[in-house]
Amino acid sequence: MEAVFSSKYYTFFQSDKERCFYIDFGQKVVRLSFCQLLALRQKVSNIRIEDHFDAELNTHGFEILALCNKEHLFVLNTLEIIDLKELLVGAFSMFEVSLSALV
């Protein structure tokens, strides 16, 4: 297993042998297939961080994130969500399927 990208709180790994990815969330390490990774990327990019600063749109400043077909459940605060966004952008930038990999 090789570390691909790290953010402040999380680390993204790839396992060539298992052909999958791992995210170390600190209290838990989650295994993801590529499809599950795409689904996570979609969920996280859909989170409007601006809503966390609007008491009516997000009262408590938390997000509930269900991963890998509801196998895992995370409750993340604003800073953790920002960090997770950064992790996924950083990890995808290491892949050829991403825009920045072309540069």
Partner 1 sequence: MKDIARQSLSIKVECMDLLNNQIKKEAHASATYLAMASWCDQNGFFTGAKFFYKQAEEEREHMMKIFQFVIDAGGNALSPEISGIPHEYSSIVDIFENALDHEISVTKSIHNIVMKARELGDLATEKFLDWFVLEQVEEENTIRDILDMIELTGIEGVGLQIIDGKINDWID
Nearer to partner 1, 37 or 47 (CB): 37
Q: x/- contact string, 33-72, with partner 1 (CB under 8 A)?
A: -xx-xxx-xx------------------------------
CB of 27 to partner 1, least distance (A): 25
* 31-35 contacts at long range (C-beta below 8 A, 24 or more positions apart): 31/68, 32/67, 32/68
Q: Which of residues 5-24 bind partner 1 (CB under 8 A)?
A: 14, 16, 19-21
- Taking the complex as a whole, the smallest distance from the CB of residue 96 to partner 1 amounts, in Å, to 4
Applying CB under 8 A, does 97 fall inside the site for partner 1?
Answer: yes
**Cβ neighbours of 73 (radius 10 Å):** 9
- Describe the strand order of the beta sheet including 29-32 as a list of residue ranges: 2-6, 11-15, 20-24, 29-32
Using the structure block, give the residue that is written with the tokens 């969500």: 81
3-state class (DSSP) for residue 3: strand
Q: Give residues in contact with partner 1 (CB under 8 A).
A: 2, 4, 14, 16, 19-21, 34-35, 37-39, 41-42, 92, 95-99, 102
